[in-house]
Structure 1
Amino acid sequence: MARQSEYQRLIHEMYNLRRFGIKLELTTMQRMLDALGRPHTRYETIHIAGTNGKGSIATTLATILHAAGYRTGLYTSPHLVTFNERIQINNRPVSNAAVVRACKAVRGLSGDGREPTFFEYTTAMAFYLFAELGVDIAVIETGMGGRFDATNIITPCLSVISNISVEHRMYLGNTLGEIAGEKAGIIKPGVPVVTGARQKPVLDVIKKVAKKQAAPLYRLGGEFRVRRHGDGTFSYHGISHRWDRLRTVLAGGFQMDNAALALAGCELLMASGKPLSEATVRKGLASTRWPARLEIVSDSPTILIDGAHNLQAAKNLAAFLSEQMAGRKITLVAGILDDKPYRAMLRALVPLCDRVILTRAQIGRAIAPEILEREARNLGATRTHVVDRVDKALAFALAHTPKKSGAVCVAGSLYVAGEARHAIKKQGEMQPAI
């Protein structure tokens, strides 16, 4: 009990670090890691940036590497329910005791006159634990951007840039080209880079940076591609391999593109001497799980949870609802953070829904649900409701949605998705569809 109390106290202290905001520099991270003995240099790393899909790609690569026998670390953000989800070993969150050890190791190490941000602190913790727990290779997802992201202290064996759209303008820039420049900051000298970006201004920037760094560049739709089949499988036409009739359990057609980026990464790892077989790649791909991304957690009634935390993700969710849930009476439970284009996100989703329930996650950056409700009504929604807490909003949705002909869709924020998953699991109602 004492250990749990210490864990909760330290987690609370870390969350309070949010007040220091985002600092676009790497000096603090460098000094912290130097003080820890440079743990990030004791294992190989793969670095992943992008707007959408980077978590899916990171998890897929980590799962494949684990299936191949590597002791694999995975660092992603944000978490859905517990902080430990951010730092995983062999696809399992680290223990509370490990979090406590890492907290104590990192505490007070900034050494340059300012406190580290929450993300700097947790990144240092992850790098420390990966070394302490003896991983062979760690898959690292950026938090935001790339060039000055806290994770960009590593020199990886592979870089991946999933895709790029306009986001975080205050920090990354107002144009696709400016944002691409920040994301491309993860490209290191001579390190191969894989990208799913297709827009010309984005590719122009990535090509320029890759050329400057003498980093071999491999593009989805260029050096490798996918072909979708009607039975839900796809074929991968790769850099030097062709793998037919592959299957990913992650829902949504865009996940095949994400899988292709992971597979191209696997090819490059194979070329560098990593013993990854086709059988291992297939096994890892088919067993990858990534919660709260088009995740059906119950089929009686149907409950779909999707983070859909930005405009492109909302559009992807809308496409899934149109294709897979046509004719269903959909109840949308939505909460959105204040740095997101909530009007455009609601415009993508509200017209597809029979009822709309607006809520908010328990985080200071959540938009007031009353503001979201006004926008939903402006979009023509006649059955709208405000329910301030996610668990209560979900209960209300289930009580007002037909079990057989309806479906509940929770979306708009990974924080909302996490609170919904926690509420369902707590009630013992989560029944993953096979």
Structure 2
Amino acid sequence: MTYQETLEQIYGLARFGIKPGLERISSLLSKLGNPHRKIRTVSVAGTNGKGSTAAFLSSILSTAGYRVGLFTSPHLISFTERIRINGAEIPEDDVVRLTAMVMAAAPPRTTFFEIVTAMALQYFSEQHIDIAIMEAGMGGRFDSTNITDPLVSIITPISLDHCEYLGSSLAAIAREKAGIIRPGRPVVCAGQDEAAMAVIEQYAAAGSSPLHVAGREFTAIWRDDFLDYWGVRGSITGLKPALHGRHQAANASCALCAAELLADSGFVADAAACRLGLSTTSWPGRLELFATAPDLMLDGAHNPGGSRVLAEALAEFPGKRIIMVIGVMQDKDVAAILAPLLPHAAEVFCVAPALERAMPAGELAAAVQRIGMECTVAGTVAEGVQAALAAAGPDDLVLVCGSLFTVGEARAFLLGKPCELVRG
């Protein structure tokens, strides 16, 4: 089977939808010889900042000399982005081989995400990595990544998202995210809403799991363009994270705290590794600047919490006229995503990624107009990017946002690459 045929087989599993639970992944991994029990892991759950935090920690540990697996989702352009070792994406030949192996062992109606999780764990086991950073796809308690036994669990900011699966309140969603906590193992937690924090504290206390909370046990503060960190074991000043946005202080500090705590399990990252790791982290599609003419920024803010963070980050571009290209998924709280962003836009172009879940561009335009903003129905993501660049002046900023799928399609267009859009 060719790589393209393999991708079609994998992506075809999306028809089984999302089915939270650990029964199928447990059965599948058992038939593969339980590769997840042969590797040490860190789990990362939350609503926003999961990927950035995981990328920061992976870069820190890689810089410290360890062989680090990183499993994230969704991908922006290529399936191989999901499974990496020290920044290198899984080779296509291994995708073909592992797909055949995992599919042959899979129980009936195993989901896309379960298959891909099993592929990642099998690959990491084969490659004899030192540690794997596993980003939960959705939730935590019943997410297939929760089959692992993490040395440290990280919970990033929680907000309302995937409510049809996780619950309609922050407390309910926090209960799902807190499912990654292990008895007696340390937990790193970003600042949270009071209701979410109460749940996390309850779970940590029940398992006697040491809880380290941002702003309490550790903190990071911007000093001009540099970040100063005070942690559980020491402090590091004058850090320069590679990822844009003042909000990255929270993500970087959670990664730094986790790195400190991992020393108890034999993974030592000194101040030099932390400094260099943060400064060389790559995480595309999140406040990612393209040096086009005019400048263009990609950010995958896809829920109300993410759009609020993006709106705050736009303050870093004072005086810039912002031309916005936006595309969202139909199952999202579109009005809540739009509300923080539209006041910053001088012009808006509405688009629809090439995905069944995408809200049609005309429907999105109607939602924008209901908020009181005029806009243009641009059609496809590529057409929207082209229209925005043509409408922008040399000193303006084109912002592509609203969904990671929108950002992925835009990034592929800008790089002249094909884009593999799939849910999960």
Q: Say whether 1:156 aligns with 2:150.
A: yes
CA contact (8 A) 1:351 1:379 kept: no
- The match for 1:215 is 209
Matches of 2:101 and 2:41, distance apart in 1 = 21
Q: Say whether 1:417 aligns with 2:411.
A: no
Matched residue SS, 2:105: coil
Structure 1 segments, 4+ long, off by >3 Å, are none
Q: How does 1:268-347 map to 2 (within 5 A)?
A: 268-321=261-314, 323-347=315-339
- The match for 2:421 is none
Return the match for 1:86 from 79, 82, 96. Answer: 82
Matched residue SS, 2:146: coil
1:237 to partner: Cα distance? 1.1
Matched residue SS, 1:138: strand
- The match for 1:391 is 382
CA RMSD of aligned residues (A): 1.2
> Structure 1: any 5+ residue segments left out of the alignment?
428-434
Matches of 2:192 and 2:19, distance apart in 1 = 30
Q: Say whether 1:378 aligns with 2:364.
A: no
1:300 to partner: Cα distance? 2.5
CA contact (8 A) 1:194 1:261 kept: yes
Matches of 1:296 and 1:170, distance apart in 2 = 33
CA contact (8 A) 1:45 1:138 kept: yes
Matches of 1:395 and 1:299, distance apart in 2 = 12
- The match for 2:56 is 60
- The match for 2:422 is none
Q: Say whether 1:403 aligns with 2:394.
A: yes
Return the match for 2:65 from 66, 69, 91. Answer: 69
1:338 to partner: Cα distance? 1.5
Matches of 1:324 and 1:252, distance apart in 2 = 8
Matches of 2:214 and 2:94, distance apart in 1 = 38
CA contact (8 A) 2:191 2:215 kept: no
1:274 to partner: Cα distance? 1.9
Structure possessing the higher relative contact order (Cα contacts under 8 Å, 6 or more residues apart): 2
State the TM-score, normalizing by the size of structure 2. Answer: 0.96
Return the match for 1:348 from 323, 337, 340. Answer: 340
- The match for 1:11 is 7
State the TM-score, normalizing by the size of structure 1. Answer: 0.94
1:279 to partner: Cα distance? 0.6
CA contact (8 A) 1:369 1:388 kept: yes
Range with greater deviation from structure 2 (13-22 or 408-417): 13-22
- The match for 2:349 is 357
Range with greater deviation from structure 2 (131-140 or 260-269): 131-140
- The match for 2:420 is none
- The match for 1:118 is 112
**Residues 281-339 of structure 1: per-residue CA shift (max 9 Å, x gap):** 11111111110100101252110100011111111111122x12232221110000122
Q: Say whether 1:185 aligns with 2:179.
A: yes
Return the match for 2:37 from 41, 47, 56. Answer: 41
Range with greater deviation from structure 2 (75-84 or 22-31): 22-31
**Residues 357-388 of structure 1: per-residue CA shift (max 9 Å, x gap):** 11111111101111110121222223x21122
Q: Say whether 1:147 aligns with 2:141.
A: yes
1:234 to partner: Cα distance? 1.5
Q: How does 1:99-138 map to 2 (within 5 A)?
A: 99-111=95-107, 114-138=108-132
1:110 to partner: Cα distance? 2.8
Quick one: which amino acid aligns to residue 410 of structure 2? A
Matches of 1:240 and 1:353, distance apart in 2 = 43
Quick one: which amino acid aligns to residue 404 of structure 2? L
1:197 to partner: Cα distance? 3.3
CA contact (8 A) 1:333 1:408 kept: yes
Matches of 1:75 and 1:20, distance apart in 2 = 21
Matches of 1:378 and 1:171, distance apart in 2 = 28
Q: How does 1:169-208 map to 2 (within 5 A)?
A: 169-208=163-202
Matched residue SS, 1:34: helix
Quick one: which amino acid aligns to residue 418 of structure 1? G
Quick one: which amino acid aligns to residue 59 of structure 1? A
CA contact (8 A) 1:181 1:206 kept: yes
Range with greater deviation from structure 2 (347-356 or 43-52): 347-356
Matched residue SS, 1:115: coil
- The match for 1:432 is none
1:180 to partner: Cα distance? 0.6
**Residues 129-171 of structure 1: per-residue CA shift (max 9 Å, x gap):** 1111221111000000000001100001110001111111111
**Residues 92-114 of structure 1: per-residue CA shift (max 9 Å, x gap):** 11111011111011013233xx3
Matches of 2:330 and 2:208, distance apart in 1 = 39
**Residues 53-108 of structure 1: per-residue CA shift (max 9 Å, x gap):** 01001011111111111111000000000000000011111111011111011013
Quick one: which amino acid aligns to residue 401 of structure 1? A
CA contact (8 A) 2:226 2:238 kept: yes
CA contact (8 A) 2:260 2:268 kept: no
Count of aligned pairs: 417
